[in-house]
Structure 1
Amino acid sequence: MKTLISSLQWMAFMIAGSIAAPIAIADAFHFSAGETALFVQRTLFVLGIGGLLQGIFGHRMPINEGPAGLWWSVFAIYAGLVGSLYSSSTESLQYLAGALIVTGIFFFLLAFTGFVDQLNKLFTPVVTFIYLLLLVLQLSGSFMKGMLGITGAHQEVRPLVAVLSLVTVLLTFYFGHVKKPWVKQYSIMLGLICGWILFALFGEAPAITFGESWFSLPAVFDFGKPRFDSGAVTTGVFIGLLLTANMITSVRVMGNVTGVRQERVRSSLFISGINQLLAGIFSAVGAVPIAAAAGYVAQTGIKVLKPFLYGACFVSIIALLPPLVHIMSAIPAPVGYAVTFVVFTQLVGLALNDLEKSPDKEIAHTTAGISFLVGIGAMFLPAHATEHLPMMIATFLNNGLILGSVVGILTEQLLIWRKKRNTQENSIREQ
């Protein structure tokens, strides 16, 4: 029973954190309600299968697959190109499917050549600290807007939603600090359920609608056959390189939380390649191991793998049952944001712990300062400021998380090289 409840909690956490991306992308491409439901179904199916594959054959850690923020931004960019570069939304989505497949192939190449092992060495405790803190900062705006009820339809703060979200946050924190172990372990699920009930009582929960079908297999190439051009290939390779950084960081952070440093980076990258191919084949959003899983494990204290695997399996099964997809899609968005807000507070502590592991504090502080100025600064750039730039550059500049992390890697390596050179020069002078 304990494993079952833990598995259901993992399932709820995976779904609550994965619903927003496909819904937002569907809105950008003007999908109908039926098309949106199918898009959510296909995405959940890919995420569930991807989590299973990673847990069994890849990193073998409780790290769920979630819609990659990078792919989210690329989908949004491609949606804006409809009518100019692409004649229709369908054509744009076909090139996106092609880019996903290219990313999958690129992951295979990185895994087989062993180049990813060299990249892995660049992800020092300082870079992990920078990545985690930038991740929290980048998503904090979305959390606040979601918990205050600010959406596309409502551009003003909704006091009732804000109060209910605050109560949900406080309840989730409370459950996570209760002395009874079983309450702490299931704090995320308890917070989610209590928040959902609160929003339903005050009429702020969306109505649950059911389709006609009780079972549905996700369609293959729903947008049509993938298309490839130089833009799709370049985007696929570039996104693949950046997502590799995301994957390495997620695995390393979870290792710090669980105390199990498996370092199965090549295996994880190979499975990530399969997951990208699945996203392209099933016309879904590209997945990536989510660093927030470390915050979830730290909050609940559930470090074993079995409940995670069952939870991923449940997500895949739910994706085949449209009525259950509709039920889970009815989780009020502010509740999902409120519960995830609690999870992300754990990441700040994990980030600071990584900073303490740095052997050279001067280099660490300088690297962090430069990276944060660049990364956070990029987060304040208006979206239209990069519209005239090539897509690869625009995608890079529009993502402060990745830009700051890359700057962190380059800065730290430069400072380490300069320090070694100065040491050698001083040694030569002394001789």
Structure 2
Amino acid sequence: MKNVLGGIQWAVFLIASSIAAPIAIAHVFGMDAGETTLFIQRTIFVLGAACLIQAFIGHKLPINEGPAGLWWGIFVVYAGMVGVMYPTSSDALQALQSGMLVSGVLFIILALTGVINKMKTLFTPAITFTYLMLLILQLSGTFLKGMIGVDSGDDRIDSVLFFGSLVVIFVTFLTMNHKTPWISRYSVLLSIAAGWLLFLIIGKTHAIKFESENLIRLPDMLVYGIPVWDTGVVVTASFITLLLIANMMASIRVMESLLKKSFAVTPPDRMKQGSIASGVNHLLAGLFSAIGPVPISGAAGFVGATRLSSLKPFIMGSILIMVMTLFPSIMSIFAALPPAVAYAVTFAIFTKMVEMAFLELAGESHQLRAYKTAAIGLMIGVGIMFIPQESMSDLPRAFSAVLSNGLIVGTVLAIVVEQFLLWRERKTN
């Protein structure tokens, strides 16, 4: 019974920490209720499968997989390219679907060749700070537009929607930082529930639409077509993969430290296996046209609070999640969540990423070099975000897709600048 209840608790945590991402992405791509339901189904199904793969052949630790915030950001960026770089939303999603497959292959190659640690040295605190800040700055506009109900230039601010979004942000901050463990543990779930209820009261929710007549439906594969080669996405996927590797390593180390200190358990080093499993999980994400998963560092807090250090309840929760996705009616309920609620909760969550970014920068021993590196990367990256994408439409598609992405250009320049400064320091000494 303990494992069953623990499995249910894991399932709740998995959904609470994952549901906002597919809803927000579906909204920016203009998916209807049916498409949103199926997108949520595929994403949650892949996350459940990813947890099982890590539990059986990967790092074998109770760390849940969630939609990677970095991929989330890239989805939003590419949604803005629809009509400019890509004729339709399906074309952009097809390119991103292919990017998941590229990332999966890179994960496995880097794990098998042992290049991971060498390549990770490029992502110093200064580079990580630059990347995170560029990502946050690029997404902040999308979050705010979603919270005020502005989808296009013709829309006007919905004051009622904005008021509701502000309340949801306040509730999210309140629950995230609450002293009562179970409230902070389920802060995302509680905030979504409270926001949904509030939006129901103020009349800003949509009716639940059960689009499928089938009781059970398997998730579809390659929804947006066969994989395509897109140089812009390949470059993006390469950078994302390196950052996700660093994210994965950090999550594993945090959990290992918790198990040693709180449970007197010393897990074996399975970083290589975890990397290979992450590659397989990304291949699954591409195959099922979902969002790429990543081990969530917050799992350590969940395990520490619930004392669920065993893999058995974790595995049961993952299986429960996968079974739930097979029922379209359950996914339709999740798809009815107002996008503004998802944006508001996500806005609050992303403020933690701002904290993470500045903590990374504070950890740099050579502050002056870090400031120079970040300054150039941020100025160029943010500057590109203000250049109309239409102005690059005459360039070859591969170049325009890369050059119009301030996130990638800013990060690349930051790496180049920092490596040049390091080279000059070595030459001087």
Asked if Structure 1 and Structure 2 have the same fold, meaning a TM-score greater than 0.5 normalized by the shorter chain, the answer is yes
Greater mean deviation of Cα atoms: 90-99 or 13-22: 90-99
Distance change >3 Å, CA 81–CA 147, structure 1 → 2: closer
CA contact 2:254–2:297 (8 Å) conserved in 1: yes
Measure how far apart 1:21 and its partner are: 1.9
- Identify the residue that residue 8 of structure 1 maps to in structure 2: 12
The alignment covers a number of residue pairs equal to 408
Q: Which residue matches 2:163?
A: 163
Retained in 1: the 8 A contact 2:22–2:291?
no
Matches within 5 A, 1:352-367: 352-367=358-373
- Over the matched positions of the two proteins, sequence identity in percent amounts to 33
When normalised by structure 1's length, the TM-score is 0.80
Q: Are the equivalent residues in 1 in contact too, given 2:84–2:389 (CA < 8 A)?
A: no
Name the counterpart of 2:238: 241
Tell me which of 64, 67, 81 is aligned to 2:66. Answer: 64
Provide Cα deviations, 1:36-68, integer angstroms capped at 9, x if missing partner.
Answer: 543443343234323543465446544513454
Q: Aligned to 2:192, what secondary structure does the other structure show?
A: helix
Report the Cα offset of residue 113 of structure 1: 2.4
Shift, 1:111, TM fit = 2.8
Q: Superposition pairs for residues 125-204 of structure 1, below 5 Å?
A: 125-152=125-152, 155-204=155-204
State the one-letter code of the partner of 1:146. G
- Where structure 2 has 5 or more consecutive residues not aligned to the other structure, the ranges are 259-267
Deviations 1:145-172 (A, max 9, x none): 1111223597211110111111111112
Aligned residue in 2 for 1:386? 392
Which runs of no fewer than 5 residues in structure 1 stay unpaired? 424-431
Q: Whole-Å Cα distance in 2 between the matches of residues 296 and 36 of structure 1?
A: 27
Residue correspondence of structure 1 range 306-385 to structure 2 within 5 A? 313-385=319-391
Amino acid at match of 1:220: M
Give 3-state SS (helix, strand or coil) of 1:19's partner.
helix
Cα deviation 1:327-352 (Å, max 9, x = unaligned): 00111111111111221112222222
Amino acid at match of 1:287: G
SS at match of 1:217: coil
Whole-angstrom CA distance in 1 between matches of 2:304 and 2:336: 28
**What are the superposed Cα offsets for residues 57-81 of structure 1, whole Å, 9 maximum, x if unpaired?**
4465445134544356557757767
| 1:237-276 alignment, distance < 5 Å | 237-251=234-248, 254=251, 260=257, 266-276=272-282
Check conservation: 1:107, 1:273, Cα contact below 8 A. Answer: yes
Query: Bigger CA drift: 99-108 or 342-351?
Result: 99-108
Superposition pairs of residues 26-37 of structure 1, within 5 angstroms: 27=30, 34-35=34-35, 37=37
Whether contact under 8 Å (1:184, 1:301) holds in the other structure is no
* Matching residue of 1:287: 292
**Aligned-pair CA distance for 1:23:** 4.6
Could you give the per-residue CA deviations for residues 301-325 of structure 1, whole angstroms, max 9, x where no partner exists?
8697768766655543332110111
Checking the alignment, whether the CA contact within 8 Å between 1:204 and 1:332 is kept in structure 2 is yes
Distance 2:153 2:315 in 1: 37
For residue 261 of structure 2, what is the aligned residue in structure 1?
A: none
Single out whichever of 235-244 and 130-139 deviates more from structure 2: 235-244
Q: Residue 217 of structure 1 aligns with which residue?
A: 218
